[in-house]
């Protein structure tokens, strides 16, 4: 677990989650400092203690006022309930679906929830957040947002990449690593992409282009400044035509287990 500053007043809390045989997926949460500090997502369930330690190194969780939950997957809700328990002022910004999905495992207190829908804007302190349904997502509750003061697009899982050695800045990735990493992530995380109408998908991507974000902060990509947006969009535009992802089969699993249990010859 590591932290870095992506922009003035925006901190990233990140870990690299290993995918056996394939590389690493960065898992990011973000702190937007300001008159009413906002936390965007809360890390993975399995690394919650480490996440809380890293979070405390960038802000006192008692100072947080808002928690924007981009969606309810286990890599985004890790410390959600601990934060709610520690800080009675903290409110969760999510959707009707977000609340519904959470109610199946760890219900959210309804009096501490603010609903948003894509297109809605809300002002919290010195920040204005406009909810965005990103072009690619893996969960129906997914809601990213554009933050007006910083010009940053928080894109949730969209624009993520599977990488061999994730840097802190996406600009440090080669064109090849970024493109292949993005396409691999998109085909793994959003396999429905292969079925989309290409012109409809192009319109979705164009919606991001028109925002002209100064920075894209994906949950699963190092921070990417706005001059990379065209590259990010170009990789995604090609993802529907890429080879569909097929996971290892049972024979591969048995081979892996055999290798893990083999006693090395002295």
Site residues, Fe ion (CB under 5 A): 73, 75, 138, 157, 219
Biggest CA-to-CA distance, the chain: 65
Euclidean distance between CA atoms 91 and 86, whole angstroms: 12
Please give the residue whose beta carbon sits closest to Fe ion in the complex: 73
Q: Which is nearer to Fe ion, 155 or 219 (CB)?
A: 219
Rounded to the nearest whole angstrom, what is the least distance from the CB of residue 133 to Fe ion in the complex? 14
Q: Are 157 and 209 in contact (CB under 8 A)?
A: no
Q: How far is the CB of 138 from Fe ion (least distance, A)?
A: 4
Which lies closer to Fe ion via its Cβ, residue 124 or residue 224?
Answer: 224
Residue closer to Fe ion (CB basis): 124 or 162: 162
Q: How far is CA 252 from CA 1, 256, 260, in A?
A: 31, 6, 12
Tokens 């010195």, residue? 126
Residues 6+ away with beta carbon under 8 Å from 127: 32, 34, 36, 38, 147, 148, 149
| 11 vs 75 by CB, closer to Fe ion | 75
For the CB of residue 42, give the shortest distance to Fe ion in the complex, in Å: 12
7 sits in which H/E element: strand 2-7
Q: In angstroms, what is the minimal distance from the CB of 210 to Fe ion?
A: 25
């Amino acid at each position: 677990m590591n932290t870095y500053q992506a922009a003035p007043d925006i901190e990233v809390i990140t870990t690299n989650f290993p995918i056996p045989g394939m590389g690493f997926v960065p898992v990011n949460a973000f702190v937007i400092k300001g008159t009413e500090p906002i936390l965007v997502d809360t890390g993975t369930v399995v690394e919650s203690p480490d996440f809380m330690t890293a979070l405390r190194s960038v802000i006192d969780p008692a100072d947080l006022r808002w928690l924007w939950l981009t969606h309810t997957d286990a890599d985004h809700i890790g410390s959600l309930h601990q934060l709610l328990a520690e800080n009675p002022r903290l409110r969760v910004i999510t959707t009707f679906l977000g609340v519904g999905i959470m109610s199946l495992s760890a219900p959210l207190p309804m009096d501490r929830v603010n609903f948003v829908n894509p297109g809605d804007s809300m002002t919290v302190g010195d920040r204005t957040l406009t909810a965005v349904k990103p072009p690619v997502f893996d969960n129906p509750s997914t809601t990213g947002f554009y933050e007006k003061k910083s010009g940053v697009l928080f894109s949730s899982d969209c624009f993520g990449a599977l990488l061999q050695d994730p840097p802190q800045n996406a600009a440090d990735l080669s064109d090849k690593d970024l493109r292949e990493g993005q396409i691999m992530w998109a085909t793994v995380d959003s396999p429905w992409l292969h079925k989309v109408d290409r012109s409809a998908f192009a319109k979705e991507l164009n919606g991001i282009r028109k925002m002209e974000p100064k920075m894209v902060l994906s949950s699963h990509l190092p921070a990417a400044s706005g001059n990379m947006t065209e590259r990010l969009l170009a990789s995604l535009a090609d993802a529907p035509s890429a080879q569909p992802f097929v996971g290892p089969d049972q024979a591969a699993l048995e081979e892996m287990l055999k290798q893990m249990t083999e006693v090395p010859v002295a």
